[in-house]
Structure 1
Amino acid sequence: MQRALINFFLDEARDAGYLEIQPPLVVNEGSGFGTGQLPDKEGQMYHVTEDNLYLIPTAEVPVTNFVPRCDFGCQTTACEKTRLTVHASVAKPDRMEKMFVDSNRLHQFDKVEVVQVAHPEKSYDILDQMVAHVESLVTKLGPSLSHPPALWWRHEFLPAALTYDFEVFSAAQEKWLEVSSVSNFESFQANRLKTSFP
């Protein structure tokens, strides 16, 4: 069942124009900082102290760091057509999940993620497209979809400007469970990664 779901999500992502990639499972400190995971989420990330590397909490961290960048403070150009999806059977995020009291997540789990790098003027149109994509996936699988609540995060340690959470009702647990989220980071990660459009 798990492999069938992974294949379904990857096939749907490919049909929607995403490119499947296999990201690394560990990242350096700079990659965590660039995406806003550090210095905020050390308590949720496993740290390999000997090499000062972190196990990925989400494939978004290495995927976003694939965008061309320069480590010397100069501006580089990102491709407007960059659209990436992650091979979930390889991208196994690891999280301590200390902040989740009643969570169904495990420390390690499979996850299919789609990531887009977009021009700032188009970012909210792209967000709407990604929300529609995720909604179509949940609808195709059959469970009832609650209206995705919008979470406005305007905090220096929470980099997403707008997040939509998707919940489905679990008959087995008799409660609504979050199954996906789609976020717009506006310029937060681009600024940290020193990436810009021409």
Structure 2
Amino acid sequence: MNKNKVMIRVSIVIILLGIIGMMAFVFFKGSNIQQANVQQDIFTIDLTKNLEYKVTGWNGKGYIKVLSNKINPTKNKKIEEFEKTLKYVTKDNYKLKIGDTTTLSVHYDKKVAEKAGITVSNDKKEIHVDDLVGKKVENKWVKTDYGNGKYILEKVQYVDGVEIPEVWRDRPDKIVQYLEFVECEKKHPETYHSACPFMEN
């Protein structure tokens, strides 16, 4: 009788050990699968593929202005953190002239990229400068009739064929803004007051 009890107890212990072993196997197997999934959660991103930019400024003082860079259309949180580290650097920025070729580089935090499982496939874009304000600058003396047969010679400045108001004459930064305003007026003839940037002295 005692022998049978011992055998029963041994059998129960063996069964319990088997159950525990099975549970441990399932737990570690699940952990490995989860870890594998994390390791497979890798993103390859081209930092210049969806880069939108504008070449602007005065000829000889031109620069590249980054407008947007949609690298995270799915709103992934890991990519969002990585996106916050992006910085844009252009070679010879604010010194560009028509005909130049420059390089726009996208700098990023490599540690953040590694932590997020991000591999960068491209972080540079070559840009050719085709057009800037100030291709042609002309100063002309114009005879103005003030009545009573009196004429006065006045200096008038034209930049790229557009007459520049006296208040902004010989001020490249303001001339750039003014020509952008004039161009905007042409595109939005009915609503330019609200659609186009206001010029300040």
Which TM-score band applies after superposition, normalised by the shorter structure? under 0.3
Q: Which has the higher helix share?
A: 2
TM value normalised by structure 2: 0.22
User: So what's the TM-score if we normalise by structure 1?
Assistant: 0.22
**Computing the radius of gyration over CA atoms, which structure comes out larger, 1 or 2?**
2
Relative CO higher for 1 or 2, CA cutoff 8 Å, sep ≥ 6? Answer: 1
